[in-house]
Amino acid sequence: MVLILRFFILALIIFLIYTAIKYLFNPKRKLELAHEQKKFFLLDDTKNIHKNFLLTYNGVMFEGEKYLGTTERSFEVISIFIWPKKIADLKGLKRNDFLKIEASIKKQYPDALIDWKSPVKEFLDN
């Protein structure tokens, strides 16, 4: 009976350590932390084209949708649409901030044409 109890306690400790490590390295947690600290963070699964990416910059959360197409070399992401999750959070952002966001996305998807949805599109067109 004591041996079974010790085994159960050991299994519980291993499970708690595994859960803590999994929590610490969770990318969504890193995204939320960067969002709270108003830092830049890009959460993207580059292997899954159908999955949208999330991006936080200066406390504003953006979502981006990727579209696959052909280039001269291969099939690549050729079009990306980005929009803010909450339009009210855009207060204080400048044109240069949006250009920095575009540059960081271009590092990951160099062949992509980046389009912003309203109201950012109208702001950048002026």
Taking only the tens place, the pLDDT of each residue in 9-39 is 999 999 999 999 998 888 899 999 999 999 9
Residue 76 identity (one-letter amino acid): E
Residue 22 lies in a domain: no
Give residues with Cβ within 8 angstroms of 80, minimum separation 6. 64, 65, 66, 67, 105, 109, 112, 113, 114, 115
**Sorting pLDDT into bands at 50, 70 and 90, what band is 47?**
confident
Residue 12: the pLDDT is 95
Contacts of 121-126 with C-beta under 8 Å, sequence gap 24+, read: 123/95, 123/98, 124/95, 124/98
Is residue 73 situated within a structural domain? yes
- Domain of 79? 27-125
pLDDT at 102: 92
What CA–CA distance (Å, rounded) separates 2 from 69?
63
SS3 (DSSP) at 25:
coil
pLDDT digits (tens, 9 = 90+) for 51-108: 999 999 998 999 999 998 888 888 888 899 999 999 888 888 888 999 999 999 999 9
Residue 2 in any domain: the answer is no
End-to-end CA distance of the chain: 76
Is 50 within the bounds of a domain?
yes
Q: State if pTM tops 0.75.
A: yes
What's the pLDDT at 6?
Answer: 92
Has residue 6 been placed in a domain? no
Residue pair 35/61 in contact by the 8 Å Cβ criterion: yes
